[in-house]
Amino acid sequence: MSDSSRDGSRDVDGLPIDAGTALYAVFGDPVGHSLSPVMHNRAFSVCGIQAVYLAFRIKDIAAAVGAVRALPMRGVSVTLPHKVAVMGYLDSVDDTAYDIGAVNTLVWREGALHGTNTDGAGAVGALREVAGLKGARVAVIGAGGAARAVVHGMSAAGARVTVVNRSEERGRRLAARQQGSYCPLDAFGGLEWDILVNATPVGMYPDVEAIPVPEKEIRPGTVVMDTVYNPMRTRLIHAAEKRGCRVVTGDAMFVHQGAAQFTLWTGRPAPVEAMREAVLAALGAEPAEAV
């Protein structure tokens, strides 16, 4: 950050921080670990947009939405535990968010505060870097919040989705919502698929040796994506690489959902590579190489 200027304003990367600076934020609890500020502030800087993105630990989501209206803030990311509760305090929520059952993005539209969800778009954007989705057989492991977003995004992109889950009731319910099919987790070995997505926390730090499916059931020559990004190179990703698969690490979905937010807020194409570089630098990691 530079020294103060004569009018008391300051600047970051050559962009002034003053009364004309647009304010964006992420609301969550906890939120200190969030990489969204690193990613979005890099995007604003690269695009020459006078804006700043901050992280706020929020206990009372109703009061926080009131603050968005009062300041006003230009846009907000919403993360756990507020993605569902925030829906009750908005002027409108789109079909995508209703289908997924959660809002992760607040954006102003014609003076009204609108809620949507970019997680599914993030999964689609990440996978499209390595594979086509229309007509592809996509197996999604899990039936929680992340899985709902991934299944919605895959279905909207024209993929044929199978939900793979231990709980039959939850798995069948999610599959039915998106005109997909269901496969019990213990029957995964007999399932035919082109793309596998782990949408569970299995393999996340500290349980880094866990893997959602047996290594022997990972099909060579397919695409394998993990939504876990701590660690970024999970045991599933390592196993898939060893079996000659193209891999997509969890940072890719995170970056692409953020890119979709950026475009919603600014109306401009997102600088995806700059955002990815910022996230990888913060993680102290290098991108996985597709085999």
Is residue 216 annotated as a catalytic residue, yes or no?
no
Query: What pLDDT sits at residue 12?
Result: 55
The CA-atom distances, in angstroms, between 266 and each of 7, 33, 83, 133, 137 are 27, 25, 22, 27, 34
Query: What pLDDT sits at residue 14?
Result: 61
Query: What pLDDT sits at residue 286?
Result: 57
Q: Within 10 Å of residue 13's Cβ, how many Cβ atoms?
A: 12
The domains of the chain, with CATH numbers, are 10-117+253-283 (3.40.50.10860), 121-248 (3.40.50.720)
Q: Within 10 Å of residue 37's Cβ, how many Cβ atoms?
A: 19
The angle at the Cα of 263, spanning 260 to 268, to the nearest 5 degrees, equals 145
Query: What pLDDT sits at residue 11?
Result: 60
Query: What pLDDT sits at residue 9?
Result: 45
* Region for 102 from its dihedrals, namely left if φ exceeds 0, alpha if ψ lies in -120 to 50, beta otherwise: beta
The answer to whether the CB of 103 falls within 8 A of the CB of 86 is yes
- pLDDT tens digits for the chain (291 residues)? 344 444 444 565 567 788 889 999 999 999 988 999 999 999 999 999 999 999 999 999 999 999 999 998 999 999 999 999 999 999 999 999 999 999 999 999 999 999 999 999 999 999 999 999 999 999 999 999 999 999 999 999 999 999 999 999 999 999 999 999 999 999 999 999 999 999 999 999 899 999 999 999 999 999 999 999 889 899 999 999 999 999 999 999 999 999 999 999 999 999 999 999 999 999 886 554 433
Q: What is the pTM of this model?
A: 0.89
From 59, 83, 134, 216, the catalytic residue: 83
